Structure 1
């Protein structure tokens, strides 16, 4: 693994007409034991936040977005998972999302699948397998 040379992405803000519904979907999908974070003390209302492996996903109420994304492929939230087939089963059983791209091998070392969240944003899952996974583990151990 190479040493970081720039800023780390600290968070992603998802604007929505129904941030609580969107937060609940992501919580169910990726952090089933998470609770909503408290909002700012200045009266702006509660925020719905998930902390996922050091990155914050923030669900914000916005009146300048539509109920559904008109360009869902413009920005994809990408989650690396260790068992993509298990995650796909769990998502299907719990949330029954629309699969934009079913889980498939994109090359000999990577599995990829894409679902749509309730606002129509694309959420991509990937798993590194084979030689790349072995090399990533070796690089992490050496660090």
Structure 2
């Protein structure tokens, strides 16, 4: 039996266009016309669907329940770009034993973690 693969998630919003624009500007997803037509953002093999739902509020009341992690090759460059956008940080960029971590807050209040793992941490995974 083939094992399931986590390939996407739906991020619901009362203003999906604003949220989608934020993710595109802040994190530069891969371009793919097939998924872009549906408003889907592709990050590697993972797809982020951002759509509206009637059963969510304007802000996430429990943002720590689910944190979206982005593995990046250059955390400092991503953080600099996000700073230029005026991003609010829950946790500023910090070095944790050679790996870099920062946690931003998107316009809906969700936590978005930027991670640049060191080669040593990758080898230990």
TM-score w.r.t. length of structure 2: 0.87
Is the radius of gyration larger for structure 1 or structure 2? 1
Instruction: For 2:98 and 2:91, locate their aligned partners in 1 and report how far apart those are by CA, in whole Å.
Output: 18
8 Å contact kept, 1:100–1:114: yes
Aligned equivalents of 1:55, 1:126: Cα separation in 2: 16
Q: Which residue of 1 aligns with 2:121?
A: 132
- The answer for unaligned runs of 5 or more in structure 2 is none
Verify the 8 A CA contact 1:49 1:57 in the aligned structure 2.
yes
Alignment of 1:54-133 (within 5 A): 54-93=45-84, 95-106=85-96, 108-133=97-122
Shift of 1:24: 0.5
Judge conservation of contact 1:116–1:123 (CA < 8 Å) in 2.
Answer: yes
Cα RMSD (Å) = 2.2
Aligned-partner SS, 1:68: coil
**Cross-structure match for 2:15:** 18
In structure 1, stretches of 5+ residues that fail to align are: 39-46
State the TM-score, normalized to the length of structure 1.
0.77
CA–CA separation in structure 2 for the residues paired with 1:116 and 1:104? 16
Report the count of equivalent residues: 122
- Report what 1:37 is aligned to: 36
Q: How far apart, in 1, do the equivalents of 2:19 and 2:65 lie? A: 18
Correspondence for 1:49: 40
